[in-house]
């Protein structure tokens, strides 16, 4: 009976230790990410040294881990919800960090309170661990404002639910993609305009599967950057649309500058984000 009581108290201590943890919180410092592989054909370059644990199981050293489990499941009793999912933190350069912050790199999740260290969540990798392990960690908050928490959650959702554009559309927007990549970080008015975009969304009517399709590009500005370019916005939109010449089943291509406030809910949910690294089903 005493042993059972002691075990119950230890379970309760784990649950109590995790009561303050939230999705997006981190542990920073020497950590290890475990994964399975085929030792005869390794494909990943994860940084650090991968140490074989046993056949087909290895661990790679990482600079930290970020919790991707939903907060409601983190704080539940460890006997009811014993597992927590984590992704490794990786260091990126300034350009990629800006893209991640603006939601243009679905592989990564932006962690606001680690941005000064240029650390982001690598959402391509997820590891499941038991809660008593996390209870021993020194919690590093990942965010402070509710809006930041929603942004991180949205990154997780986008990673799993992002749309795979048809191959013919991916070819159609090749020149636009190259232009956006080339000009995004330039110290020019066009570069500033691209950095002021919250996202680019594209809508296909009647649908992506129809033999004849009309495309609508929504260039969604951030609210705080609505007016700084004045009439130049229309000039840039026209220039960008010229890089998407209609062809094949894509008969018409239109676009406009907008804000989230001005978009209808139907237009938003009926369109898909045009992120830099997933313009086809084979993208990273």
Report whether pLDDT(133) > 50: yes
Report whether pLDDT(55) > 80: no
User: Quick one: three-class SS letters along 234-264?
Assistant: HHHHHHHHHCCCCECCEEEEEEEEEECCCCC
Report whether pLDDT(53) > 90: no
Instruction: Please give the average per-residue pLDDT across 272-277, as a whole number.
Output: 72
Q: What percent of the chain has pLDDT over 90?
A: 50
- Whose CA is closest to 180, among 239, 252, 262? 239
First to last CA, the chain: 54
Report whether pLDDT(283) > 50: no
- Whose CA is closest to 90, among 113, 61, 119? 119
Instruction: Please give the average per-residue pLDDT across 33-56, as a whole number.
Output: 65
The larger pLDDT score, comparing residue 146 to residue 275, is at 146
Number of Cβ atoms within 10 Å of the Cβ of 158: 17
Structure tokens at 273: 């984000």
* Tens of pLDDT, residues 11-33: 899 999 999 999 999 999 989 99
The larger pLDDT score, comparing residue 229 to residue 78, is at 78
CATH class in words for 167-273? alpha beta
Domain ranges of the chain: 2-160, 167-273
* Tens of pLDDT, residues 60-99: 999 999 999 999 999 999 989 999 999 999 999 998 898 8
Report whether pLDDT(40) > 70: no
pLDDT of residue 52: 55
pLDDT of residue 235: 87
Report whether pLDDT(150) > 80: yes
pLDDT of residue 4: 62
Give the mean pLDDT of the chain.
85
**Cα(26)–Cα(74) distance, rounded to whole angstroms?**
13
**Cα(275)–Cα(159) distance, rounded to whole angstroms?**
11
Q: What percent of the chain has pLDDT over 70?
A: 86
**Cα(176)–Cα(210) distance, rounded to whole angstroms?**
23
pLDDT of residue 282: 33
DSSP state, residue 284: -
pLDDT of residue 280: 34
258 HSE (CA, 13 A, CB side) = 18
Report whether pLDDT(102) > 90: no
pLDDT of residue 5: 75
Instruction: Please give the average per-residue pLDDT across 34-49, as a whole number.
Output: 66
In terms of average pLDDT, the best of 50-54, 118-122, 237-241 is 118-122
Instruction: Please give the average per-residue pLDDT across 255-276, as a whole number.
Output: 87
* Tens of pLDDT, residues 157-210: 888 877 788 989 988 998 998 888 888 778 888 888 888 888 899 999 999 999
């Amino acid at each position: 009976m005493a042993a059972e009581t002691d075990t119950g108290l230890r379970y309760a201590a784990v649950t109590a230790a995790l009561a303050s943890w939230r999705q997006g919180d981190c542990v920073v410092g020497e950590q290890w990410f475990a994964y399975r592989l085929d030792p005869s054909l390794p494909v990943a370059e994860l940084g650090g040294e991968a140490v074989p644990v046993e056949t087909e199981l290895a661990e790679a050293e990482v600079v930290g881990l970020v919790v991707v489990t939903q907060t409601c499941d983190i704080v539940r009793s460890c006997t009811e919800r014993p597992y927590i999912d984590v992704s490794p933190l990786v260091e990126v350069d300034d350009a990629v960090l800006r893209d991640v912050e603006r939601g243009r790199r679905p592989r990564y999740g932006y962690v606001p309170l680690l941005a000064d260290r240029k650390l982001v969540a690598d959402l391509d990798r997820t590891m499941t661990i038991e809660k008593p392990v996390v209870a021993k960690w020194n919690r590093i908050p990942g965010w402070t404002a509710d809006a930041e928490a929603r942004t991180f959650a949205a990154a997780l959702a986008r990673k799993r639910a992002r749309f795979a554009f048809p191959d013919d559309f991916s070819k159609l927007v090749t020149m636009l993609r190259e232009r956006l990549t080339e000009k995004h970080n330039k110290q020019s008015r066009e570069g500033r305009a691209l950095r002021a975009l919250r996202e680019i969304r594209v809508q296909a009517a009647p649908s992506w599967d129809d033999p004849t399709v009309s495309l609508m590009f929504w260039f969604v500005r951030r609210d705080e950057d609505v007016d700084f370019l004045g009439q130049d916005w229309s000039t840039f939109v026209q220039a960008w649309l010229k890089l998407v010449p209609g062809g094949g089943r894509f008969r018409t291509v239109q676009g406009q500058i907008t804000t989230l406030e001005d978009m209808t809910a139907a237009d938003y949910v009926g369109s898909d984000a045009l992120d830099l690294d997933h313009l086809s089903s084979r993208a990273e």
